[in-house]
Amino acid sequence: MRVLLTGSAGFIGSHVAEALRARGHEVRGLDLLPGGEVGDVRDRDAVARCVRGVDAVCHQAAMVGLGVDVFDLPAYTSVNVAGTAVLLAEMARAGVHRLVLASSMVVYGEGAYTCRSHGDVRPGPRTEDDLRAGRFEPPCPECGSPLEPGVVGEDTALDPRNVYADTKVAQEHLAASWARMTGGRVAALRYHNVYGPRMPLDTPYAGVAALFRSRLERGEAPLVYEDGRQRRDFVHVRDVARANVLALERLEVAQDARLRAFNIASGNPRSIADMAEALAAVHGGPAPQVTGGYRLGDVRHIVASPERARQELGYEAEVPFAGGIAEFAKATVGTGR
């Protein structure tokens, strides 16, 4: 099929482009960087040119990362929300009805938790007083007792905790509205912590794996926030690219829902300290330092099941953690996003 790929020159987008072409699909790229049609997803004329005549759209273009401060709000909403709205409108105008949307696990906020007394609960944002005092685990919102973290499914209520998460929720809502109005189909792929070759370094908007490697490249110890025991699911970029191809190829499978969300994860969660230690060991750099520092927009644990993606898309992560980290420690990196 002919696929418009936004963000085609970026970290994840460039891998998606390779995976699509390897499957015999024709890729038309749109990106601010060279590598396809050079253009902005917010530019209606550029999007209209690129979407004309394609069979499907794979939307990767976005401003990523947690955000530095409140002054990032206009940029995130402009690129992620307004840009997605322009794309959806031009897809409708061109009669394109298939969309794979790059979403994120950040839409969930905190992960799933269970209280011994109150069962399944959703703790609110952690307070700065608690974080400053080193109380990193969120307490039960009913009784204040310690909680047992669990696994998030796609039907969990969304609870964004930072501006990037807000814009990802907005993208999903816009895509769902587009689907209802046009009869289109959307696969919203909620990526977990993606890492791998071409990941951009030396930017405050980078993911934690890139921040660790940036310090190792300078001969400095990776700095681990909180106590390092916060849990994430690190998924290799080639597995994420393959998930995009599977979603595009299977979107015509009949579904009651016009938008279907999928967790794209490895299914084997690790702590942040595990990632830092593994990367430092392979890179040969200094051992990580656990700082006790924190960021207010961070969540403590977010681990999700990829079972729906396995059953409905045929997706399973193939790159093992040890092998993926060994490759990433020495791989070529990106410069922008």
Q: Distance (Å, rounded) from C-alpha 198 to C-alpha 39?
A: 21
Q: Averaged over 221-247, what is the pLDDT? A: 97
Nearest to 112 by CA among 125, 102, 124, 121: 121
pLDDT of residue 7 exceeding 90 = yes
Can 164 be counted among the known catalytic residues?
Answer: yes
Higher pLDDT, 331 or 103: 103
Q: Averaged over 86-111, what is the pLDDT? A: 96
Q: Which of 108, 164, 191, 225 is catalytic?
A: 164
Specify whether the CB–CB gap between 257 and 228 falls below 8 A: no
Q: Distance (Å, rounded) from C-alpha 268 to C-alpha 234?
A: 8
Domains in the chain, ordered, with CATH?
Answer: 2-112+150-330 (3.40.50.720)
Mean model confidence pLDDT for the chain = 93
Higher pLDDT, 297 or 56: 56
pLDDT band of 35, cuts 50, 70, 90: low
Q: What is the DSSP letter of 268?
A: -
Give the torsion sign (CA, 251, 254, 256, 262).
negative
pLDDT band of 254, cuts 50, 70, 90: very low
Joined together, the tokens standing for residue 5 give 């790929």
Answer whether 0.85 is exceeded by the pTM.
Answer: yes
pLDDT band of 68, cuts 50, 70, 90: low
pLDDT given at position 285: 87
